[in-house]
Every structure is written in structure tokens, then in C-alpha cells.
A and B are shown apart, each in its own frame.
Chain A
Amino acid sequence: MKKRITQTAKYWQHQFEIDDKVLQSLKQRVRDLGSPLSIDKVCLFFIRNILEKERKTIRSELQGAEPYRPDQKYAVNDKIVFPHWGFTIGKVVSVRPGYNPVDKRFDIIEVAFPKSSDTIAQLAANIKTPHKLLEKSDEDDQTEDIISISQKIYKRYKQHIRPKIEYFIKNDGSFVSFKKNCFLKELLPKIQEGLLNIVDAVIDINGKPMSVDDLIEPLELYPKGKITDASRFSINYYLHNDNRFENVGTPDLVLWYLNRLRPPQLRAPIYHLQVKKTSFNVNVLSGDLRAFLADIDDEVTPIEYTTTTSDTKTVKFTLIYPHLHAGTIPVLPAVLDILPTADSELLILNFIDGQTGETFLGWLIEETNYIFGFENWYKKYNLPVGTLITLKKTENPLELIIDFNPQRRRPEVVTVAKINNDRLTFQMERKRITAKYDELMLFSVVHPHEVERYSNRLEKQGVSLSQLMEDIFPELMQLSPHSAVHVKTLYSAVNIVKRYPPGPIFYELVTHKSFESLGDGYWFYRNM
């Protein structure tokens, strides 16, 4: 069955053009509405106009012809249109009786098709039995609502239609667009520079991202006491085109923030969180090492070696030194699951302190795997390396609760990491620990600046992971009566001076001749 031209991909891909008349009527529609239109609505507007035009053409070509129905009676000279033959028009040239044992008596009409060299077809008419052509067809029903047909066409050919409209809107001087909406430039209210300075000051004073509605209020841009879509669009449009402001919200919620309020730590990826060596041959790892690889939730470990948490509302992880030192939390695959989609390269989240209910901001830059903003929170509770931290989702996608499990402040024996004689050393001390922790990964780092200097020196000297492990392992062995070191302890200790995911550390353990497995994740070092 031949389709109408507007119901083919070929039309929307190659033939569809934006008609100036339709464009003028679109502009008039926007003027009448006085508010912006979504790009989807603009696309539907164009489709509807094209369909209406096509219907008009068909109607004028039909010149009073009726659509063919096999159950209708026809007379000589009747004009008939055949929707199933591409709306071809024919004229009845003769009528005679017909018969077959199923349909019994009916009429046979001979129809001539002038546009096809007077081809003649014989067709059934006045039949009393059911026929396929009497069933309702979606695509060729002239009476079907043009709006629903437009929607069906848009759904089917959106990938061809939308880019063309977007390109056109972008290049036509009359329209301005912001995100998925467009508006007529002439309808934008004039906003003075001074008003944008007020917006700047409002965000600065509040110190947090603000929604457009919150910004309109101080600007008093709401005629008749109501915030309109036009005023929302205008403010968004002006702020989007002013370098001072940036949208740090989600695709569904625009939130404006000031570029200059970005913490300086966001200007470049945080050095101590950079991982140079991530590749390792997983096949050489034994079963228990693979289990620990999955158990240690490290954001750099390839996702195929990790275990994903089933609870999509809460994420638990153990704090390692690089994040404690940088004031960050890792964006583990499970953390990513509870984060909203960002609308730009920066997403600002609101964190609620689970202990006090106080709030603070966290910054997530695209393509980094950490969220910055926890330095004060870690200091406030004096959290050690190894603390078990919980992140909880709230009803607001931009708000998360960060928490730990507090414990009574009684002194405990803790491994303290210090730099002594240009070496990372460990000793047992009694200290008060405020939070529940993973005892295999617990460390207290007393002089972070000395550790940083030592770490920088190692970097300059180009000390390899293997050398680093040979230095650290004997120090850790002294803490255990059996001289055994657990892989999680080794991972946590190595990360005090250099950021390494567990995979390469485990690989060194297996391939280095001096390391020997004692089972259950414990290892021994034999100085050869």
C-alpha cells in the first residue's frame, strides 16, 4: 500500500523544508502566547502545518471524489479516490452485476484512471460481506485528528526533524533559545546591566546555587504579581550569556551560581588523587585477592572487578587517606547511581551532615571521580583513615546525607603513620576514635604536611610501586606478632603516600618474589 509522502522517512530526511509562511505563523503564535515554546512544540507546529497543507492539496485534487469503499453503490461518471493506491482518482465508466458463491450478488464497476493512460480496473461495489478495505486504517483515515497524527510522525521521525529545527532556530536571527526552549528576541524584556549585578550580589550573599524563581523575586520581574515562563526564560537567557554565571543544576532544574565562587581546588584535578598506574593483569590474582579487589571499593578499580551494591538509596565506603587529605569523597559506581544527571560540566550538590543536620556544598566536576567540599567536615569530627562513611539519597535529587556511625570517645590502640628519618613509619598509640571504622584500614596520620613533603619527594625521585611496597611492608610487619600484613592494611598504608588502586598493589604482591601469601589475605615479606 502506497503511503502519503509525509509518512515516509525519505520526506523528513531529504525533502522537508522550513516554509517562510509557516515560519511567520509560528512567530505570530509565539507573539499571541507571549511565552517561550519548547523545541518539541515548534517541531509539532511545523509538522501540523505540513500535514494540513497536504490534506488541502489532496482535497483540491479529489475535486469532490469520494474515497472508495467496496460496500458503496456507484453509478457511471462517479468520481472515486483510492487511498490504498496513493490517492489516485478514477471515474466509473460502467457498472454490471457480479456473482461469486461467497459474496453472492454484487456490482462490478469498471474504473478508468485518466492520469494513468486511462488504465481500467474492475472493482467490487455494493458488497454485503466484510472486506479488508472496510476496516479502519490509522494512516489513511482522513478524519483522524491531525494533532495525534503529528505526534505519531514526530515520534517516528524525531531524529530527522528535530536537528533541522534546532539548526534553523539557532541560525534565524529572530529567535533565541535556552536549553529545550525558544522565544522571540523581540519579546525578551530589556534587562539592564544593573539588574544582572543584583543577581550577582544575591547569589554571592546566599553563597549557594539559586533557582531562577528565587532570582526573579529581588529583580521584581513579575508583572501582575506572577512569575511567568517568559520572565523565567529571559533571566535564564541573559544569565546563560553572561560569563559571570553558570548553570550548575540538572536537566530538569536550572540553578545559577557564580564562576568566581568556585573553590580554587576545582581549577585543576587534585594532584594527590591522580592515579598513574591503573593497569594490571587480573588473571594472575588468586581467588581471595580477586575477592578483596571487589571488597575494597576503590573508584579507580575497573567496574567489572567490583561488586555493585543492591541498595540504591544508601552507599557505604571506607575513607582512604588521599580523600581525607583532599577533602573529597570518591565517586564510586554506587555513588554515581544515586547522583542526578548534571546539565553542565559542574554539578553542585547540597550535603546534609547526618550528625547535626547542618548543610554544606559539594562540587562535582565532569570527568573527575571525586566530589570536593568535605575538608571541614572531616576536620570537625577528626575522622581517621578507615572511617566507614554512609551516603544517603533524599527526596531532593540535589541533596544527600553524609554520615558516619559515632562511637564513644574512649582511647583505643591505633596505628599512627609518621615520617621518621625520611621513611614512612608506623607505631601503636592510644587515641580517641570518634567513628566506627574498618580495623584493617585504620590509620591516624599526625603530620599531614610532612607526609605531603615526603610524598612529593618520592614523586620527584620516581619511586616505583614495587620500591614503595618494599619500604612500607617491613614497617607494617613490625606491628604484627606474626609479621603478617593484610592486603587491605597494605592498600590503606600505600595510599598514605601515593594514590594507588588495589589492583596494581595486588599484582606486585603476586609477581614480586619477596612477597609470600600466608592465606586469608595475609602476606609476608622475605628480604632476599
Chain B
Amino acid sequence: MRRYIKPTLRTKYHIDFDWWQKKGQNLRRYLLEHACEECYALVKSDTEIATIDWIDPGTAEVFTVDGIWHVIHNACREEPKYLDPNLPVTSLIFRLFIVNNNTPLTPVEIHHQIKNKGAELILRILSGHRVYKGICHVAPPV
């Protein structure tokens, strides 16, 4: 069980890949929703794209992640409208973590990158009981 902490504006968040595994949710399908047209076509046609060993940029923990993550991270982040402010806020935050390779960010740092949503609102969304798309606060495994 994750150790409870009271999140604040200084708490770091990221996509918790363990959450996707534990919940038995299909990360590949969700990642495909965030692929640009070009990547989508490429990934759809290539069923051979294997998993990769993704290294957490903060802790160096390794997670086995669908290879689509890498494709989207490299190609789609260059799309000018990838971080479209009209997207739902949770999708926008998820995309932000794809773009920065899941580097942990605080609600304030997230707000600085997606300016149309305030840091307080972001904190309220991320710190609620419901976990959106595996976006959780960073907690050490021990």
C-alpha cells in the first residue's frame, strides 16, 4: 500500500506505471489515444513493437513499459498542438508527462507548462480519491 502523504503544491507527481499493472488497465490502448496520426498509423501497423525497460529520471527505478511510450515520446512531442489547451485537464497532464519522459512535477510546475489551469485546481484534481490515468504522487518503494 502506498504510504499516505498529504499532498501540497510542492508534492511531485508522475505517471505510476505500477498503477497500470496493478489495475490491469491497458496502457498501450490509452497511449494510442495520445498518438498523433502519423505515430498512430505506424504503431497500429507494427504489432512487433516490444516493451522497453523505461528508467525513471528521478529514482532510476526500471519499469517495463509498452514501446509505444518511446515512439510517442520521441515523435509526438514535436507536434505543435500536442499540448492542446482545449484537451481535458487530466489528458493534458498525461501528455505533459509523455513529453517530459515522466519526470516528476509539482502542481505548480504543471501549471507553469499548461497555463490555463491553476496550480490549486491541478492539486485538487490529482490529490482526490480517484487516481486519473495512473497520475500519482511520487512515493519511494521503501
Q: Which residues of A contact B (CB under 8 A)?
A: 2, 68, 70, 82, 84-86, 88, 90, 98-103, 106, 108, 113, 115-116, 119, 121-124, 127, 131-133
Contacts and interface: CB of A to CB of B under 8 A. Distances in A.
Interface residues of B, number: 16
Nearest to A112: B142
Contact of A124 (B60, B140, B142): B60
Interface stretch (B25-33, B50-58, B125-133): B50-58
A90 B61 contact: no
Given A70-B60, A102-B70, A123-B60, A116 B55 contact: no
Contact of A101 (B52, B58, B60): B52
B58 A85 contact: no
B88 interface: no
B62 A124 contact: yes
Given A99-B52, A100-B52, A101-B52, A119 B142 contact: yes
A478 to B, nearest CB: 75
Contacts of B52: 99-101
Nearest to B63: A122
A132 B55 contact: no
A100 B57 contact: no
B59 interface: yes
Contact of A131 (B53, B54, B57, B63): B57
Contacts of A116: 141-142
B142 A108 contact: no
Contacts of A98: 53, 62
Interface of B is mostly: mixed
Contact of A121 (B54, B74, B141): B141
Nearest to A107: B62
Given A2-B140, A85-B142, A113-B142, A100 B53 contact: yes
Contacts of B70: 100-102
A113 B140 CA distance: 12
A123 B61 contact: yes
A100 B142 contact: no
Interface in B81-105: none
B140 A132 contact: no
Interface of B: 52-55, 57-63, 70, 74, 140-142
B142 A103 contact: no
B140 to A, nearest CB: 4
B59 to A, nearest CB: 7
Given A85-B142, A113-B142, A121-B141, A100 B60 contact: no
Given A100-B52, A108-B53, A88 B142 contact: yes
Nearest to B55: A124
Contacts of B74: 101
Specify which of A90, A100, A102, A116 lies most central, judged by the most chain B CB atoms within 10 Å of its CB: A100
Contacts of A127: 55, 60
A524 B55 CA distance: 90
A328 to B, nearest CB: 57
Contacts of B60: 68, 70, 123-124, 127, 131, 133
B140 A103 contact: no
A68 B141 CA distance: 15
26 contacts: A2-B140, A82-B142, A84-B59, A85-B141, A85-B142, A88-B140, A98-B62, A99-B53, A100-B70, A101-B52, A101-B70, A102-B70, A103-B55, A106-B53, A106-B55, A113-B142, A115-B142, A121-B61, A121-B142, A122-B61, A122-B63, A123-B60, A124-B53, A124-B55, A124-B60, A131-B55
B2 to A, nearest CB: 12
Contacts of A2: 140
Given A98-B53, A124-B55, A131-B57, A85 B62 contact: no
A124 B55 CA distance: 7
Contact of A100 (B54, B59, B61): B54
A133 B140 CA distance: 14
Specify which of B52, B58, B141 lies most central, judged by the most chain A CB atoms within 10 Å of its CB: B141
A100 B141 contact: no
Contacts of A121: 61, 141-142
A122 B56 CA distance: 10
Nearest to B69: A100
A245 B63 CA distance: 75
Contacts of B58: 132
A443 B74 CA distance: 90
A116 B142 CA distance: 6
A133 B59 contact: yes
Contacts of B142: 82, 85, 88, 90, 113, 115-116, 119, 121
A101 B60 CA distance: 16
A99 B53 CA distance: 5
A116 B2 CA distance: 13
Given A99-B52, A100-B55, A103-B55, A85 B63 contact: no
B62 A122 contact: yes
Contacts of B62: 98, 108, 122-124
Given A68-B60, A84-B59, 7 more contacts: A70-B55, A86-B140, A101-B70, A119-B142, A121-B61, A123-B62, A124-B60
B72 to A, nearest CB: 12
A124 B63 CA distance: 10
A68 B140 CA distance: 14
Contacts of A103: 55
